Amino acid sequence: MTEITRDALGWSPFYMSQLELEELETLIPARIATVHRDRVMGFSEIGTLELTLDPGITTAAVGVGDWALCAPDQHRLVRVLDRQTELTRGTEYHTGEKQLIAANLDTLFITSSCNNDFNPARLERYLALAHDAMITPVIVLTKADQCDDPDAYVDQARLLGRDLEVIAVDAKNDDVPALLAPWCGKGQTVALAGSSGVGKTTLANALTGGNAATQDIREDDARGRHTTTGRSLHAMRTGGWLIDTPGMRGLGVAEVAFGIDATFPEISELAETCKFRDCDHETEPGCAVQAAIALGEIDPERLKRFKKLKRENEQATQTIAQARDRSRKLGKMYRSAIKKKGR
């Protein structure tokens, strides 16, 4: 990798403010590019570093896109800096911790293809996660060249949010970097997310100049298998950084109430004006949401998906809170037992 500055890697005053004077004298910042079982790789001003973790730090606490302080001579990662943004998802069993997808993102490219893979409910899940993390979402529709009417998919996608950016591309076309350049400039970081087989690898290759293997979706049912097995940070042609993520079968939501409301603003804002605070938006008198549906101002299918996501988020959030409470109590009991044993 050629020499690169901190600013080009995405360094900002937010991270600089976290450094102590003595750390500036002995340590250097590095941007985490890959995370392995017992070590990480990072990009820095002095080149690519392979780092082991200091005691007390596990790879579960380090994500691709993180900024960390390192002792390069000893090949040690000493401290992970606070994140400006983090993209997470609920785990299948809601064990009390959410899974980190990527750290310090500016933009999330939510990918879908112009075929039967297009699924508004799945896109809304990604939008909720992005909005909740204060990350700018952009929907990128691939395989536009293989569709008779890509504009129809663009129009459908734009209905999923207010002022939502939607771009239709042929990922194999040379104009992809130019089309996505507003979000891929120097120091900017984007992540690619979406279901397996929609063309994320081809899109990543277009943005980075890489040549990763791809596998097309089967045309009969629009399903595919992903070829990316882990998250990694790549330099883009336009000066920014790309985090490619593997296709995720499950995309749970938890602790993202704000993100859901931001994804369905036409519903969440009207819900504030309903007669009853706990309105279910069904048959209650004075329901502003149902009144808007009757006038054709709100899509009833959007309301169904909104309510489904709200229910899932509430249940998962409660489960996570209970798991964390159990963990705290067990920790307290363990520390108490150790203290008594030491007397």
At 145, list the tokens: 């060249």
| CATH classification (class only), 257-338 | mainly alpha
| Predicted pLDDT of residue 339 | 67
CA distances from 138 to 39, 86, 213, 295 (A): 32, 16, 24, 30
Nearest-angstrom CA–CA distance, 159 and 137: 14
Q: What number does CATH give the domain 86-244?
A: 3.40.50.300
Question: What pLDDT, on a 0 to 100 scale, did the predictor assign at position 218?
Answer: 39
**Residue closest to 247 by CA, chosen among 259, 231, 263:** 231
The ranges assigned to domains in the chain are: 6-80, 86-244, 257-338
Taking only Cα atoms into account, the Rg of the chain, rounded to an integer number of angstroms, comes to 22
Continuous H helices in the chain: 6-9, 13-16, 21-26, 120-132, 150-158, 176-179, 200-208, 257-263, 265-271, 288-294, 300-341
Angle, in degrees to the nearest 10, between helices 120-132 and 300-341: 50
For the entire predicted model, the pTM comes to 0.86
CATH 2.120.10.30 for domain 6-80, yes or no, is no
Residues 6+ apart with CB under 8 A from 215: 197, 224, 225, 226, 227
What pLDDT, on a 0 to 100 scale, did the predictor assign at position 225?
A: 40
pLDDT at 316: 85
> What pLDDT score does 259 carry?
96
- Quote the pLDDT of residue 343: 60
Q: What per-residue confidence (pLDDT) applies to 215?
A: 37
Residue 101 identity (one-letter amino acid): I
Per-block average pLDDT, block size 10, for the chain (343 residues)? 85 97 94 94 96 92 96 96 93 65 96 93 96 97 94 97 96 95 97 88 92 42 44 94 76 89 96 94 94 96 96 86 70 68 63
Question: Cα separation of 131 and 262, whole Å?
Answer: 6
